[in-house]
Amino acid sequence: MNQISHCTDRRGFLKLAATGAAAFVLPNCARGDQKSVSKQAGRQNVLFMAIDDLNDWIGCLGGHPDVKTPNLDRLAAKGVLFTNAHCSAPACNPSHASLMTGILPSNSGVYHNPNPWRKSPVLKDAVTIPQHFIAHGYSAVGGGKIYHGGFPDPPSWQDYFPSQQNNKPDDPMPPNRPINGIPNTAQFDWGPVDAPDEEMGDSQVASWCISQLRKKHDKPFFIGCGFFRPHLPWYVPKKYFDMYPADKVTLPNVNENDLDDVPPIGRQMAKPEGDHKKVIEHDQWRKAVQGYLASITFVDTCVGRVIDALDKSAYADNTIVILWSDHGWHLGEKLHWRKFSLWEEATHNVLMMIVPGLTKPGRRCPRPVTMLDIYPTLIELCNLAPKNELQGKSLVPLLKDPKADWDRPALTTHGLNNHSLRTERWRYIRYSDGTEELYDHDKDELEWTNLAADPKYADVKKQLAKWLPEINVPEISRTADKEEQPPKPRKRKTKQADM
Ligand SMILES: [Ca+2]
Ligand SMILES: [Ca+2]
C-alpha cells in the first residue's frame, strides 16, 4: 500500500487509499463454487477495455482537480496503474492500429486518421491481438470503438456489437446544433443531451459487454469493450454537466507565450489561430472544459457497470482486466485543442492492468511505457506463441514489480519522421526538419521551457536520440475519414449514426 503515497494529488490519494483498502478485504462472495471452463483450461480470460480520447484527467492520475472518476479510480486501485504511459501516435486511427498490431507508425506508414490501415503493405496481413487469441483457442468478440470508426476489422473478431461493419451504436443528439455557437464547428461542440443514459451508445456497449460476462463460456474469452466518449462531440446527459458548473470549473494552466520557443512544425501542429481562437472568441473555454469533464464522468459510469458485472460473474478471479485510452487531449494548453501534437497533453494516456495472481492492489508504475507494449504483455500473460515482429516490450516485469528496471523511453510519432521520446525525467521532440524541443519534467511538468538550444543538454539529447526510429516509411494513401465529418441530422426513430 505504501506505493499509493506517490500519487501527486491529495484528493486522489485519499480516494485511492479508501478504495484500495476496500479491494483488500472484499471477499469472493456470491460466486460459490462456480468454476468457469476457461479456468479449468488453465488460461485466463481477457477483458480489454478502451476509452477514446481520454487524457490524464482522471482522479488517480491527478490530471484535473475537479474530475469525478470513482470507477476508474477503484479499478486502478485493484492492480497496476501506469502513470507514465504514452501513445504510439496522438490520433485515433494510427494509435488503435499500432496498438492492435504491435507495429510502429513509422514502420507501417499509418500516421493519420484517413489512412486505411489494412492497406499498409506492412499491416495488410498483420495478425491483430484478438486474431492471435483466436488462433490459440480463445473466443474473441468485441463491441464499440476498438478500431477507428472508418476502418473496422471483421477478421479480428468472431462477433461484434452492434455489427462487424458498424462498430458504433447510435447516440442521441441535441437539437439546434452547434450548441456552442461556433460556426462550421463540425463535431467540435458540447452541451447536454436530453436523453437517459441507456440511450447513449456507450451505455449500450456496456450493456452488451455485461451480457457477455453473464454468459457461460466454453472457451477462454477475449472481450473487447470500446467506449467512444470523451471523443467529440461532448453530448452527454444533463446530469453529468450539472456535476461541473461552468462558472466553477478549473481551467488548464496556460502560458500565452508558450509557443514562442517551439519550432515551426510544432507551432503548425498547435494551430493557435484555429480552435483556440474560436473558443476564446465565443467565450467557450469554461463550457468546453465542463463538456469534457462531463463526458469523462459519463464514461466512468459505463466502466463502473462493466467492472461490477465482472466482479459478480463466474470470471472475476480468472480474468485479466486491461483498460487503456488511445491518446491524450489538449484543452487550450500550448494554445492547442484536440490531440495531434507531441506534447504531454496529447501523448500521455491511461493504462491500467489487473492480473489475478500476479498484480497487487494499489500499485503505481512510473516507468515510461507505450501502448505498443500491450500486445507482447498479453502474449506472455496468456502463454500465446511469441511474435518476433512486435516492436513493444512485455510489461510483465513491471506488473510484478512496478519499480523494476526499464531501459527504454516511450516513443510517440505524429506524421512522417516527427517523434517524441519520453523518459521519467525528459521529453525530447525531433521534427522531420531536425528542429528540436527538450523539456525537463523534474522542473517543468507543463513543458513551458524548451531547453533544446542549451549546449548544457547536448549529451541528454544525444542519449535520447539513439532511440529515434531508423526506419520512417512514407505515409500510405488516404481516404475520407468519417469521424471528422459534421454530425448528420438524426431522425428520431432511425438513430442515424454520427461517426
Ligand atoms: Ca482517439
Ligand atoms: Ca514554451
Report whether pLDDT(487) > 80: no
CA of 198 to the centre of ligand 1 (A): 23
What's the CA dihedral at 261, 264, 268, 270 to 10 degrees? -10
The residue from 92, 209, 365, 382 that is catalytic is 92
The per-residue pLDDT for range 188-233, each reduced to its tens digit, is 999 999 999 999 999 999 999 999 999 999 999 999 999 999 999 9
Q: Which candidate in 86, 112, 132, 148 is catalytic?
A: 148
**How much distance in Å is there from the Cα of 91 to the middle of ligand 1?**
6
The Å distance, Cα 449 to ligand 2 centre, comes to 5
Return the ligand number nearest the Cα of 50.
Answer: 1
Task: Work out the percent of the chain whose per-residue pLDDT is above 90.
Answer: 87
pLDDT band at 2 (very low <50, low <70, confident <90, very high): very low
Residue 484 has what pLDDT? 55
| Distance from Cα 288 to the centre of ligand 2, integer Å | 23
Alpha helices in 313-430 (DSSP H): 344-347, 374-381, 396-400
Distance 296 CA to ligand 1 centre (A): 13
- Cα 447 to ligand 2 centroid, rounded to whole Å: 7
Spatial separation of the C-alpha atoms in residues 312 and 316, rounded to whole Å:
7
Residue 282: which residues within 8 A CB-CB, separation 6 or more?
A: 180, 181, 182
Query: Which spans in 243-388 are helix H?
Result: 264-270, 277-281, 285-312, 344-347, 374-381
Q: Which ligand is nearest to the CA of 87?
A: 1
Grid cell at residue 149: 470508426
pTM listed for this prediction: 0.90
282: CA distance to ligand 1 center in Å? 25
* Cα(451) to centroid(ligand 2), Å: 9
CB of 174 closer than 8 Å to CB of 487: no
Q: Is the pLDDT of residue 28 over 80?
A: no
Average pLDDT, stretch 312-322? 98
- What pLDDT is attached to residue 37? 41
Q: Which ligand is nearest to the CA of 450?
A: 2
CB 415, CB 399: distance < 8 Å: no
Does the active-site annotation cover 148? yes
**Ligand nearest the Cα atom of residue 94:** 1
- Lowest-confidence segment of 14-23, 78-87, 97-106, 399-408 by average pLDDT: 14-23
Find the ligand nearest to 334 CA.
2
Residue 426 has pLDDT above 70, yes or no: yes
Ligand 1 centroid–CA 457 distance in Å is: 34
Ligand nearest to the Cα of 262, by number? 2
Cell triple for 349: 494516456
Report the C-alpha gap between 409 and 430 in whole angstroms. 14
Q: Is the pLDDT of residue 466 over 50?
A: yes
Give the pLDDT score at 482. 61
Residue 47 · residue 220 · CB < 8 Å? no
φ and ψ of 191, to 5 deg: 160, 165
Spacing, Cα 357 to ligand 2 middle (Å): 45
Catalytic residue status for 209: no
Which residues have CB atoms below 5 A from the ion given as ligand 2?
258, 261, 448
Instruction: Kindly report the number of other CB atoms within 10 A of residue 444's CB atom.
Output: 13
> What are the pLDDT digits (tens) for 30-63?
333 334 344 434 699 999 999 999 999 999 999 9
